[in-house]
Amino acid sequence: MTAPTIGVLAVQGDVREHAAALRAVGAEPRPVRRAAELDGLAGIVLPGGESTTMSKLLDVFELYEPLRERLAAGLPAYGSCAGMILLASRILDTRPDARHLDALDITVRRNAFGRQVESFEADLAFAGITDRPAEPPVRGVFIRAPWVESTGPAVDVLATVPAGATPDGRADGRIVAVRQGAVLATSFHPEVTGDLRVHAYFADLVREVSFTP
């Protein structure tokens, strides 16, 4: 099995956790802070963090346009939490100057599940992972997370919040994992649970696509 080189956007957020998970599933992680570090990547991870800060730092590090161009050319990507927001085409409840990469035809609502004190965990059915024989649910950790309000016709919904995950029920049925071609995104943080299956899913996707710029 090949060890694809997968970048981890390293301007802010859960960089080390994603790098460790990628290494554990047989990929070679590379921190990305400069446009030149996009060269030779087979895929890239956009970690959780603070989405508006990350969007500003993409400009500071002169990464925004080069990364947007690579994604438009078919570079596989995985975004968790803030990474999902950055990959989206439309963002609700964000700053007017926040930028996004238009790699997923989705509308996301930033901080949709509430404040830090309203963070929660839930067991999720995840298409492509838990529908295999004897696979347990994926544990989703939601920390000031977005949810997906709507999806375009090319987007596959991979996971939704089960009923009863939060006391008020407002999270029931909300979309929290999507895929469009070679781009994957989750509202939650698999990098903090020790469950490597989402990263393995993405690494397998990267191998299948075999991206060449």
- Residues acting as catalytic residues: 81, 189, 191
Which single residue is written with the structure tokens 């004897």?
134
Q: Of 50, 49, 67, give the one whose Cα is nearest residue 58.
A: 67
Tokens standing for 174? 């909300």
Tokens standing for 34? 């400069």
Under 8 Å between Cβ of 83 and 202: no
Tokens standing for 169? 């029920």
Q: Pick left, alpha or beta for residue 62 (phi over 0 → left; psi -120 to 50 → alpha; otherwise beta).
A: left
Cα–Cα distance, 30 to 183 (Å, whole number): 18
DSSP 138: E
Bridge-partner residues for 148, per DSSP?
108, 175
Cα–Cα distance, 77 to 54 (Å, whole number): 16
| H or E stretch covering 53 | helix 51-60
